[in-house]
Amino acid sequence: MCPNSTSIGKGALTITTMLDGIGEFRRWFWKPPRAHGEILADRRVSNLELLYDLVYVAVISQAAAALAEDVSVGGLVGFIVVFALIWIGWVNGSLYLELHGQEDGRTRSYVFVQMGILALLAVFAKEATHDTGPQFALTYAAFLGVIAYLFFTVKRVDAPETARVTGLYALMLFASALAIGVSAFLPGGVRETIWAGFSVVWIGATILLGFRTRSFTIGVTPTDSMVERFNLFTIIVLGEVVVGVVVGLSHVSGDLLAIATGILALFVGLGFWWIYFDIVGDRKPRLDGRALAVWLLSHLPLTGAIAASGAAMVTLIEHANERLAPQGPAWLLAVGTALVLLAEIVCAQALADYDRMPGIRRSLGLAMLIAALVAIGVGLIQAPPWLLAVGLGLVLLLTWLVAVSKFMRVSEWPPSRAKSEAATGE
């Protein structure tokens, strides 16, 4: 009897251990989302988030390719509408991970679901305002539905003061998903109008929440990892500038003037990088609802203008040997450059270090405003493509030199996150 009792006891122990292990796995795999306010101050951007962002490279690349092939008013309007949808999708997906994600299987699973939908969205993005509009609408509606559900699950764990706002936000996303899904069955012009209406409503809701400072700051607390996510998205659209140069050069292989024009256009893109990361990038916004809303929303025109500029470079390089740059691409690149500078002026006013050196920031903002006007003037001057690129590159270079000179006066050069945070007491 003893051996049998011992065997039974060991078997029971083994089963108990297995059940405990399964229970532990289930608890890890399906943790509830973090509630609003449960901020991980030392959180860093995860490998999963980096992979998530890479899918947006494909989606944005397809949208920019459509603009590169149709640099017209209609093509630009279509790009703006589609890019706004892409950007809003990225913001919602990224903020959910930043504010509510866990290191568990549930978070991973839902991220992979989003990535699968986004990969399909990229297939339909290039012709979204034409032949594949219905498919794009249905796919985007599915993506919004997933995001809406995820925010609805946050409502269940939120404190009463934020649960109501979270629930209303999830309801708005559900309604938007339904509206965009219905647009798939409507005529083209009506469909894009509904898409644009969704973007306007979302932007308006963000501004409205920004005025409700307490609710917004509890819901969206700026952290190093959040700032890093916006930096990474800016790098994604800067990559579209490189793609634009490569695509343009691939159409004119062996042409020395085209190669020179491509290199000069690439320096304009590098100028965007210098200006962004040395003036507004890698810095936290103020912990204030309005400032947070301004900081967040200013990245929409900023990143959209960079991506559109990359699309313009394709045509400019292809026409490098012409006496005058094609008017549409020339205007798009010049106005895109100006819009990048203007968006950064607005973004800078929401930064935590603006209050620490307002005089420097105001004078730099004035210099950037003048630079934006000069960039538009460069676009007005009918010039060869290479000369247009030189002019815009010089505008960005001089703006950066002005920034260097002003920051050096207060020992803020080179830029340093550690220095900025120490000075603001963070």
**pLDDT (tens digit, 9 = 90+) per residue, 18-33?**
555 666 656 667 778 8
Question: Mind listing the pLDDT tens digit for each residue in 301-360?
Answer: 999 999 999 999 999 999 989 899 899 999 999 999 999 999 999 999 999 888 888 888
Q: For position 358, what pLDDT does the model report? A: 85
Query: Cα(71)–Cα(328) distance, rounded to whole angstroms?
Result: 6
pLDDT at 15: 63
Number of neighbouring beta carbons within 10 Å of residue 326: 16
Give mean pLDDT, residues 186-197: 94
3-state helix, strand, coil in the chain (%, to 5): 80, 0, 20
Q: Lowest mean pLDDT: which of 174-188, 199-213, 231-245, 404-418? A: 404-418
- Other C-beta atoms closer than 10 Å to the C-beta of 27 total 10
How far CA 419 is from CA of 23, 259, 411, in Å, comes to: 46, 41, 10
Whether a cis peptide bond, with omega within 30° of 0, leads into 384 is no
- The CA distances from residue 76 to 79, 81, 82, 305, 366, in Å, are 5, 9, 10, 11, 28
- pLDDT at 2 > cutoff 60: no
Q: 111: how many CB neighbours lie within 10 A of its CB?
A: 20
- Per residue in 344-371, pLDDT (tens digit) is 999 999 998 888 888 888 999 999 999 9
The 3-state DSSP class for residue 321 equals coil
Alpha carbons 53 and 59: distance in angstroms, whole number: 10
Choose between 136 and 409: higher pLDDT: 136
366-378 mean pLDDT: 96
pLDDT tier at 209, thresholds 50, 70, 90: confident
CA 328 to chain centre: 25
At residue 426, the pLDDT reads: 47
For residue 273, which of 147, 376, 369, 397 has the smallest C-alpha distance?
Answer: 397
The answer to whether 236 touches 63, Cβ cutoff 8 Å, is no
Report, as an integer, the average pLDDT of 239-257: 88
The pLDDT value recorded for residue 148 is 95
pLDDT of residue 406: 86
3-state secondary structure (DSSP) of residue 278: helix
pLDDT for residue 41: 74
Question: What six digits make up the tokens of 56?
Answer: 């947006």
User: Do 301 and 341 contact (CB within 8 A), yes or no?
Assistant: no
- Mean pLDDT in the chain? 87
What pLDDT shows up at residue 392? Answer: 96
Kindly tell me if the per-residue pLDDT of 280 is higher than 70: yes
Phi/psi of residue 383, each to 5°? -140, 165
Annotate 64-81 with b (16+ C-beta within 10 A) or e (fewer): bbbbbebbeeebbebbbb
Asked if 227 contacts 214 with a C-beta cutoff of 8 angstroms, the reply is no
Residues 33-88: tens digit of each pLDDT: 888 777 777 788 888 889 999 999 999 999 999 999 999 999 999 999 999 999 99
Residue 21 is predicted with a pLDDT of 60
Instruction: Please tell me whether the overall predicted TM-score, pTM, comes out greater than 0.75 for this model.
Output: yes
Give the model confidence (pLDDT) of 112-161 as tens digits.
999 999 999 999 999 999 999 999 999 999 999 999 999 999 888 888 87
What are the angstrom distances between the C-alpha of 349 and each of 147, 292, 357, 367? 30, 11, 11, 14
Could you give the percent of the chain with pLDDT greater than 90? 61
